[in-house]
Amino acid sequence: MRSSVGFRIRECDAMFDEDDLIMISALQHYCFCPRQCALIHIEQAWSENRLTAEGRLMHERAHEEGEESRGDLRIARAVMLRSFRLGLIGMADVVEFHRMEDGRWQPFPVEYKRGKPKMDDCDKVQLCAQAICLEEMLSVEIPGGALFYGKTRRRLDVAFDADLRRKTEAIARQTHELIASGRTPPPAYGKYCESCSLIEGCLPKKMQKKRPVKAYLSRMLSDP
Ligand code: SF4
Protein backbone atom coordinates (compact mmCIF):
# COMPACT_ATOMS: atom_id res chain seq x y z
CA MET A 1 0.00 0.00 0.00
CA ARG A 2 1.23 3.54 -0.78
CA SER A 3 0.72 6.72 1.20
CA SER A 4 -0.13 10.04 -0.47
CA VAL A 5 3.53 11.03 -0.30
CA GLY A 6 4.79 7.90 -1.97
CA PHE A 7 6.13 5.79 0.91
CA ARG A 8 5.39 2.11 1.16
CA ILE A 9 3.13 1.51 4.13
CA ARG A 10 4.35 -1.57 5.93
CA GLU A 11 2.00 -4.08 7.48
CA CYS A 12 4.11 -4.75 10.57
CA ASP A 13 3.88 -7.54 13.11
CA ALA A 14 1.13 -6.42 15.44
CA MET A 15 1.79 -6.68 19.16
CA PHE A 16 -1.46 -4.98 20.11
CA ASP A 17 -4.92 -5.52 18.67
CA GLU A 18 -6.81 -2.59 17.28
CA ASP A 19 -9.15 -2.68 20.31
CA ASP A 20 -6.19 -2.30 22.69
CA LEU A 21 -4.76 0.90 21.23
CA ILE A 22 -4.57 3.86 23.61
CA MET A 23 -4.41 7.56 22.76
CA ILE A 24 -0.94 9.01 22.19
CA SER A 25 -2.00 11.97 24.36
CA ALA A 26 -2.35 9.52 27.29
CA LEU A 27 1.45 9.27 27.37
CA GLN A 28 1.74 13.03 27.85
CA HIS A 29 -0.93 12.90 30.58
CA TYR A 30 0.83 9.96 32.31
CA CYS A 31 4.17 11.72 32.16
CA PHE A 32 2.58 14.87 33.68
CA CYS A 33 0.69 12.97 36.41
CA PRO A 34 -0.42 9.29 36.40
CA ARG A 35 -3.55 10.25 38.35
CA GLN A 36 -4.50 12.80 35.68
CA CYS A 37 -4.00 10.10 33.03
CA ALA A 38 -6.25 7.67 34.95
CA LEU A 39 -8.94 10.30 35.56
CA ILE A 40 -9.08 11.13 31.84
CA HIS A 41 -8.51 7.74 30.24
CA ILE A 42 -10.10 5.38 32.80
CA GLU A 43 -12.77 7.52 34.45
CA GLN A 44 -13.41 9.65 31.33
CA ALA A 45 -13.26 12.80 33.47
CA TRP A 46 -12.33 15.90 31.55
CA SER A 47 -12.65 19.46 32.61
CA GLU A 48 -11.75 22.40 30.43
CA ASN A 49 -10.05 25.45 31.93
CA ARG A 50 -8.62 28.53 30.24
CA LEU A 51 -5.32 26.76 29.51
CA THR A 52 -6.87 23.66 27.92
CA ALA A 53 -9.36 25.81 25.94
CA GLU A 54 -6.49 27.88 24.53
CA GLY A 55 -4.61 24.69 23.69
CA ARG A 56 -7.65 23.17 21.99
CA LEU A 57 -8.20 26.28 19.84
CA MET A 58 -4.55 26.24 18.84
CA HIS A 59 -4.80 22.60 17.70
CA GLU A 60 -8.02 23.33 15.80
CA ARG A 61 -6.45 26.30 14.02
CA ALA A 62 -3.42 24.17 13.10
CA HIS A 63 -5.73 21.51 11.62
CA GLU A 64 -7.92 23.96 9.69
CA GLU A 65 -5.19 25.26 7.42
CA GLY A 66 -5.29 22.18 5.15
CA GLU A 67 -2.49 20.72 3.04
CA GLU A 68 0.23 22.79 1.46
CA SER A 69 2.96 22.23 -1.07
CA ARG A 70 5.85 24.67 -1.54
CA GLY A 71 8.90 23.59 -3.54
CA ASP A 72 10.74 20.98 -1.51
CA LEU A 73 8.24 21.12 1.33
CA ARG A 74 4.86 19.48 1.68
CA ILE A 75 2.72 20.01 4.76
CA ALA A 76 -0.02 17.61 5.89
CA ARG A 77 -2.30 18.52 8.81
CA ALA A 78 -4.42 16.48 11.22
CA VAL A 79 -2.62 13.26 10.22
CA MET A 80 -4.02 10.05 11.74
CA LEU A 81 -1.36 7.93 13.44
CA ARG A 82 -1.10 4.46 14.92
CA SER A 83 1.48 2.00 16.15
CA PHE A 84 0.57 -1.64 16.73
CA ARG A 85 4.01 -2.20 18.27
CA LEU A 86 3.47 0.34 21.07
CA GLY A 87 -0.34 0.11 20.98
CA LEU A 88 -0.97 3.77 20.18
CA ILE A 89 -3.44 5.76 18.12
CA GLY A 90 -3.80 9.51 17.68
CA MET A 91 -3.33 12.48 15.44
CA ALA A 92 -0.37 14.68 14.53
CA ASP A 93 -1.12 18.40 14.25
CA VAL A 94 1.30 18.77 11.35
CA VAL A 95 3.63 16.48 9.47
CA GLU A 96 6.07 18.25 7.16
CA PHE A 97 7.71 16.29 4.36
CA HIS A 98 11.11 17.63 3.30
CA ARG A 99 12.43 16.53 -0.10
CA MET A 100 15.92 15.11 0.24
CA GLU A 101 18.71 15.08 -2.36
CA ASP A 102 17.84 11.55 -3.44
CA GLY A 103 14.23 12.62 -4.11
CA ARG A 104 12.73 10.87 -1.07
CA TRP A 105 10.50 12.82 1.30
CA GLN A 106 11.60 12.94 4.94
CA PRO A 107 8.69 13.19 7.43
CA PHE A 108 9.11 15.75 10.24
CA PRO A 109 6.30 15.88 12.83
CA VAL A 110 5.40 19.22 14.44
CA GLU A 111 3.19 19.40 17.55
CA TYR A 112 1.55 22.65 18.64
CA LYS A 113 1.57 23.54 22.34
CA ARG A 114 -0.11 26.49 24.01
CA GLY A 115 2.51 27.54 26.57
CA LYS A 116 6.27 27.61 26.57
CA PRO A 117 8.99 24.93 26.67
CA LYS A 118 8.92 22.97 29.93
CA MET A 119 11.59 21.50 32.17
CA ASP A 120 10.13 18.00 31.87
CA ASP A 121 10.09 15.72 28.81
CA CYS A 122 6.30 15.18 28.59
CA ASP A 123 5.83 17.12 25.32
CA LYS A 124 8.94 15.50 23.82
CA VAL A 125 7.64 12.04 24.73
CA GLN A 126 4.34 12.77 22.98
CA LEU A 127 6.15 14.01 19.86
CA CYS A 128 8.52 11.02 19.88
CA ALA A 129 5.51 8.67 20.12
CA GLN A 130 4.07 10.38 17.02
CA ALA A 131 7.36 9.82 15.20
CA ILE A 132 7.44 6.14 16.20
CA CYS A 133 3.90 5.76 14.79
CA LEU A 134 4.95 7.42 11.51
CA GLU A 135 8.05 5.22 11.30
CA GLU A 136 5.93 2.10 11.65
CA MET A 137 3.33 3.32 9.14
CA LEU A 138 5.77 4.58 6.50
CA SER A 139 8.81 2.31 7.01
CA VAL A 140 11.19 5.23 7.43
CA GLU A 141 13.49 6.52 10.11
CA ILE A 142 12.61 9.88 11.58
CA PRO A 143 15.55 11.52 13.36
CA GLY A 144 13.78 14.67 14.52
CA GLY A 145 10.69 16.84 14.79
CA ALA A 146 9.67 20.08 16.48
CA LEU A 147 7.39 21.48 19.18
CA PHE A 148 5.83 24.85 18.39
CA TYR A 149 4.97 26.86 21.52
CA GLY A 150 2.23 29.49 21.29
CA LYS A 151 3.55 31.68 24.07
CA THR A 152 7.04 32.07 22.65
CA ARG A 153 5.88 31.67 19.00
CA ARG A 154 9.01 29.59 18.52
CA ARG A 155 9.85 26.08 17.45
CA LEU A 156 11.92 23.82 19.62
CA ASP A 157 13.74 21.18 17.61
CA VAL A 158 13.61 17.73 19.18
CA ALA A 159 16.06 14.93 18.33
CA PHE A 160 14.59 11.43 18.65
CA ASP A 161 17.73 9.98 20.21
CA ALA A 162 18.09 6.62 21.94
CA ASP A 163 17.34 8.06 25.41
CA LEU A 164 14.11 9.76 24.35
CA ARG A 165 12.99 6.65 22.45
CA ARG A 166 13.68 4.42 25.49
CA LYS A 167 11.79 6.80 27.74
CA THR A 168 8.85 7.00 25.31
CA GLU A 169 8.62 3.21 25.03
CA ALA A 170 8.80 2.81 28.83
CA ILE A 171 6.05 5.40 29.34
CA ALA A 172 3.90 3.72 26.67
CA ARG A 173 4.24 0.41 28.58
CA GLN A 174 3.47 2.02 31.95
CA THR A 175 0.47 3.89 30.53
CA HIS A 176 -0.93 0.65 29.07
CA GLU A 177 -0.46 -1.05 32.46
CA LEU A 178 -2.19 1.79 34.29
CA ILE A 179 -5.18 1.87 31.93
CA ALA A 180 -5.47 -1.94 31.91
CA SER A 181 -5.45 -1.97 35.74
CA GLY A 182 -8.54 0.26 35.84
CA ARG A 183 -7.20 1.77 39.08
CA THR A 184 -6.78 5.51 39.64
CA PRO A 185 -3.71 6.35 41.76
CA PRO A 186 -4.13 8.66 44.77
CA PRO A 187 -3.21 12.34 44.34
CA ALA A 188 0.29 13.61 45.01
CA TYR A 189 0.06 17.37 45.34
CA GLY A 190 2.75 19.41 43.62
CA LYS A 191 3.19 22.80 41.98
CA TYR A 192 2.20 21.19 38.69
CA CYS A 193 -1.35 20.67 40.08
CA GLU A 194 -1.98 24.43 39.71
CA SER A 195 -2.00 24.09 35.90
CA CYS A 196 -4.11 20.90 35.92
CA SER A 197 -7.66 21.34 34.61
CA LEU A 198 -8.83 18.54 36.94
CA ILE A 199 -7.74 20.20 40.21
CA GLU A 200 -11.32 21.14 41.22
CA GLY A 201 -12.46 17.52 41.11
CA CYS A 202 -9.19 15.96 42.23
CA LEU A 203 -8.74 18.10 45.37
CA PRO A 204 -5.13 16.93 45.76
CA LYS A 205 -4.39 18.83 49.00
CA LYS A 206 -7.52 17.62 50.82
CA MET A 207 -7.31 14.06 49.53
CA GLN A 208 -3.68 13.78 50.55
CA LYS A 209 -4.53 14.83 54.11
CA LYS A 210 -7.25 12.20 54.28
CA ARG A 211 -4.93 9.36 53.40
CA PRO A 212 -3.24 8.98 56.82
CA VAL A 213 -6.73 8.63 58.41
CA LYS A 214 -7.66 5.98 55.86
CA ALA A 215 -4.36 4.16 56.47
CA TYR A 216 -4.92 4.36 60.27
CA LEU A 217 -8.42 2.91 59.97
CA SER A 218 -7.32 0.09 57.72
CA ARG A 219 -4.45 -0.68 60.14
CA MET A 220 -6.90 -0.73 63.07
CA LEU A 221 -9.30 -3.02 61.25
CA SER A 222 -6.61 -5.44 60.16
CA ASP A 223 -5.00 -5.68 63.67
CA PRO A 224 -5.84 -9.02 65.32
S1 SF4 B 1 -4.67 18.03 40.47
FE2 SF4 B 1 -2.55 17.28 40.67
S3 SF4 B 1 -2.73 15.17 41.50
FE4 SF4 B 1 -4.75 15.80 40.71
S5 SF4 B 1 -4.81 14.99 38.64
FE6 SF4 B 1 -4.13 17.12 38.49
S7 SF4 B 1 -1.89 17.03 38.54
FE8 SF4 B 1 -2.64 15.04 39.25
Q: Which atom of ligand 1 is nearest to the CA of 34?
A: 8
What is the average per-residue pLDDT within 59-66?
A: 72
Number of domains in the chain: 1
- pLDDT at residue 3, as a whole number: 41
* Domain annotation covers residue 47: yes
- pLDDT at residue 46, as a whole number: 73
What is the CA(35)–ligand 1 centre distance, in A? 6
Would you put residue 44 in left (φ > 0), alpha (ψ -120 to 50) or beta? Answer: left
What is the average per-residue pLDDT within 161-180?
A: 97
Give the residue numbers spanning the domain of 156: 18-185
Confidence of residue 9 (pLDDT cuts 50, 70, 90): very low
What is the CA(86)–ligand 1 centre distance, in A? 26
* Domain annotation covers residue 192: no
29, 30, 33, best to mutate for ligand 1 pocket (most atoms within 8 Å of CB):
33
**Nearest in space to 178 (alpha carbons), one of 39, 64, 46, 65:** 39
**Nearest in space to 72 (alpha carbons), one of 96, 98, 94:** 98
Q: Report the CATH number at residue 77.
A: 3.90.320.10
Portion of the chain with pLDDT greater than 70, in percent = 83
Model confidence pLDDT, tens digit, residues 70-96: 999 999 999 999 999 999 999 999 999
* Domain annotation covers residue 216: no
* Domain annotation covers residue 218: no
